[in-house]
Amino acid sequence: MKRMIIQYTVKPERAAENQQYVEKVFEELRRNSPAGLRYATFTQPDKRTFMHLVSVEVEDGDNPLTQSDSFKAFQAGIKERCEVQPVVTHLSVVGSYHFFD
């Protein structure tokens, strides 16, 4: 299993665009229901700092999210949208209460 959090801050004029990309990813995930993926996206109060929490729970470790066309579109322009580039932090669970089950 892989668990990670990705955080970045988009440019003020690109925040709504970024949110639209994220919403399209979730629409596709709801349609296709890929197995072995838990995924959530949050914003901080500034509405420009995004945090993505990802849990990949498949045997081979391949992230089903990367197969999504809408996620590929989201990633295609992320560097240009960002004021602070994405930082990926890999996580190890110490404890959890109904978070991953």
CATH code for the domain in which residue 30 is found: 3.30.70.100
Q: How many domains does the chain have?
A: 1
What is residue 75's predicted lDDT score, i.e. its pLDDT? Answer: 96
Which of these, 41, 44, 42, 48, lies nearest to 12 by C-alpha position? 48
pTM: 0.91
Q: Is residue 98 part of a domain?
A: no
Residue 9 lies in a domain: yes
- What are the φ and ψ backbone dihedral angles of 56, each rounded to 5 degrees? -100, 115
Q: What is the mean pLDDT of each run of 10 residues along the chain (101 residues)?
A: 95 98 97 94 98 91 89 96 98 87 62
- State which residues form the domain around 62: 2-90
